[in-house]
Structure 1
Amino acid sequence: MKFSDELTEKLLVTANKIATQKHMCAIKNAFTALIPVIITGSFCTLITNVVCATEGNGISLGKLPGMQWLSMFTDWFNAANYATLNFFTVAAVVLIGLELGKLNKMQGFMPGIIALCSFVSCLPSFVEITNEGAVIQVANVIGKDYTASRGLFLGIVIALVSVEIYTKLVTSEVMKINMPDSVPGNVSNSFNVLFPSMVTILICALFNFVTTKFIGMSLYSIIYTFLQTPLEKVMQGLPGLLILMFVSQAFWSIGIHGNQIIKPVRDPLLNAAILANTDMVAQGIQDISKLNIINMSFWDTYMSLGGSGCTLGLVIAILLLSKREDYRAIAKLETAPAIFEINEPMIFGLPIVLNPLLVVPFILTPLVTGTFAYFMTKIGFAGVCVYAMPWTTPPILSAWLSTGGSIGAIVTQIICIVMAVLIYAPFVLLANKAQDTQQ
Structure 2
Amino acid sequence: MKIVDKLSDKLLPIATKLNNQRHLTSIRDSFIVTMPLIMAASIFILLNALIFSNAWVNQFVDLSQLANLATLMNNATLGILAILVCYNIGVNLSTWYVNNGRISASGFNSINAGGLSVALMFLMMPVTSQVTLTNGKTAEATGIFMQSLTSSSGLFVAMFAGILGTELFVHFSQYDKLKIKLPDGVPPAVASTFNSLIPEVLVLIVVAVPVYAITTLSKLSIPDIINTAIQTPLRGFVLSPVGMIFLQFISDFLWVFGLHGSSILSPITTAPQLQSIQENMTAFAHHQAIPNIVNGPFIGSYGLLGGGGCMMALIIAIFLVSKLEAQKSIAKLALVPSVFNIAEPIMFGLPVVMNPIFMIPAALIPSLNLVIAYVLTNIGIVGRMVAMAPWITPTGIQTYVSTAGNIPATILTFLLLALDVLIYIPFVMASNKVKSTNEAKA
TM-score (norm 2): 0.92
Partner Cα separation in structure 1 for residue 162 and residue 283 of structure 2: 27
Aligned partner of 1:392 in structure 2 is 392
Output the amino acid matched with 1:331: A
Deviations 1:294-328 (A, max 9, x none): 10101110000011011111111111111111111
Question: How far is the alpha carbon of 1:248 from its aligned partner?
Answer: 1.4
Measure how far apart 1:281 and its partner are. Answer: 2.1
**1:149–1:276 CA contact under 8 A, matched in 2:** no
User: How big is each residue's C-alpha offset from its partner over 1:332-362, in whole Å with a ceiling of 9 and x where there is no partner?
Assistant: 2222222111121210111101111100010
Residues in 2 aligned to 1:232 and 1:156: alpha-carbon distance in whole angstroms: 15
Structure 1, residues 129-169: CA drift from partner, whole Å, max 9, x if none? 24567531122110011001111101101110011011111
Mapped partners of 2:47, 2:126: distance in 1: 33
Deviates more, 1:41-50 or 1:303-312: 41-50
Change (3 A) 1:198 1:358: same
Q: Distance in 2 between matches of 1:379 and 1:253?
A: 32
**Matched-pair identity in %:** 31
Q: Equivalent residue for 1:369? A: 369
Question: Which stretches in structure 2 are left out of the alignment for 5+ residues?
Answer: 99-107
What is the CA–CA distance in structure 2 between the aligned matches of 1:186 and 1:393, rounded to whole Å? 42
Query: Quick one: distance in 2 between partners of 1:134 and 1:45?
Result: 28
Cα distance, 1:373 vs structure 2: 0.5
- Separation (CA, whole Å) in 2 of partners of 1:187 and 1:393: 45
Q: Which residue of 1 aligns with 2:350?
A: 350
In structure 1, give the amino acid aligned to 2:243.
Answer: G
Secondary structure in 1 matching 2:130? strand
2:97 is aligned to 104
CA offset digits 1:56-114 (Å, max 9, x no partner): xxxxx734x413x3323222232112100011001100111110110122434100000
Look up the match of 1:298: 298
**C-alpha distance in 1 between matches for 2:185 and 2:8:** 59
Q: Distance in 1 between matches of 2:86 and 2:187?
A: 30
1:151-230 paired onto structure 2 within 5 Å: 151-181=154-184, 183-230=186-233
1:371-396: CA deviation from partner (whole Å, max 9, x where unpaired): 10011111111111121110011122
Q: Distance in 1 between matches of 2:30 and 2:342?
A: 22
Query: C-alpha distance in 1, partners of 2:136/2:294?
Result: 36
Shift of the alpha carbon at 1:173?
2.8
Q: How has the CA–CA distance of structure 1 residues 45 and 134 changed in structure 2, closer, same or farther, with 3 Å as cutoff?
A: closer
**3-state SS, counterpart of residue 382 of structure 1:** coil
Write out per-residue CA displacement over residues 215-245 of structure 1, whole angstroms, 9 at most, x where no aligned residue: 1211100111221111111011111111111
* Equivalent residue, structure 2, for 1:319: 319
Match of 1:238 among 226, 241, 262: 241
Distance 1:429 1:2 in 2: 23
Give the direction of change, closer, same or farther, for the CA distance of 1:298–1:352 in structure 2 (3 Å limit). same
Amino acid at match of 1:390: P
- Letter matched to residue 303 of structure 2: M
- 5 Å-filtered alignment, 1:256-275, equals 256-275=259-278
Cα separation, 2, equivalents of 1:215 and 1:162? 23
Question: Which of 26-35 and 1-10 deviates more?
Answer: 1-10
**Which of 240, 249, 253 does residue 252 from structure 2 map onto?**
249
2:116 to 114, 117, 124: 114
**Using a 3 Å threshold, how does the CA distance of structure 1 residues 72 and 133 change in structure 2: closer, same or farther?**
closer
Conserved? CA contact 2:81–2:150, under 8 Å: yes
| Secondary structure of 1:109 counterpart | helix
CA contact under 8 A between 2:131 and 2:141: conserved in structure 1? Answer: yes
Equivalent residue in structure 2 for 1:74, among 55, 67, 71:
67
Please say if residues 237 and 243 of structure 2, whose CA atoms lie closer than 8 Å, have aligned partners that are also in contact: yes
Judged with a 3 Å threshold, the aligned counterparts in structure 2 of structure 1 residues 429 and 182 are, in CA distance, closer, same or farther, namely closer
- For 1:8-157, list aligned pairs within 5 A: 8-55=8-55, 62-63=57-58, 65-67=59-61, 69-105=62-98, 106-131=108-133, 134-157=137-160
Measure, in 2, the Cα distance between the counterparts of 1:407 and 1:185: 58
In the alignment, which residue of structure 1 is the partner of 2:279? 276
3-state DSSP class of the match of 2:219? Answer: coil
Partner Cα separation in structure 1 for residue 263 and residue 273 of structure 2: 14
1:320 match: secondary structure: helix
The separation in 2 between residues aligned to 1:278 and 1:130, in whole angstroms, is 21
Give me the whole-angstrom Cα distance separating, in 1, the residues matched to 2:183 and 2:436. 81
SS at match of 1:138: strand
**Residues 213 and 362 from structure 1, CA distance in 2 versus in 1: closer, same or farther, beyond 3 angstroms?**
same
Render the CA deviation track for 1:166-202: whole Å, top value 9, x for unaligned. Answer: 1111112342223345655433332221121112123
Deviation, 1:403, is 0.9
Q: 1:325 to 1:183 in 2, by over 3 A?
A: closer
Gaps of 5+ in 1: 56-60
Distance 2:78 2:185 in 1: 46
Distance (whole Å) between structure 2 residues aligned to residue 45 and residue 53 of structure 1: 10
Count of aligned positions = 429
Root mean square deviation of aligned Cα:
1.8
- Residue 207 of structure 1: how far off its partner (Å): 2.6
Mean Cα deviation higher: 136-145 or 277-286: 277-286
Aligned to 2:104: none
Give me the whole-angstrom Cα distance separating, in 2, the residues matched to 1:415 and 1:379.
Answer: 18
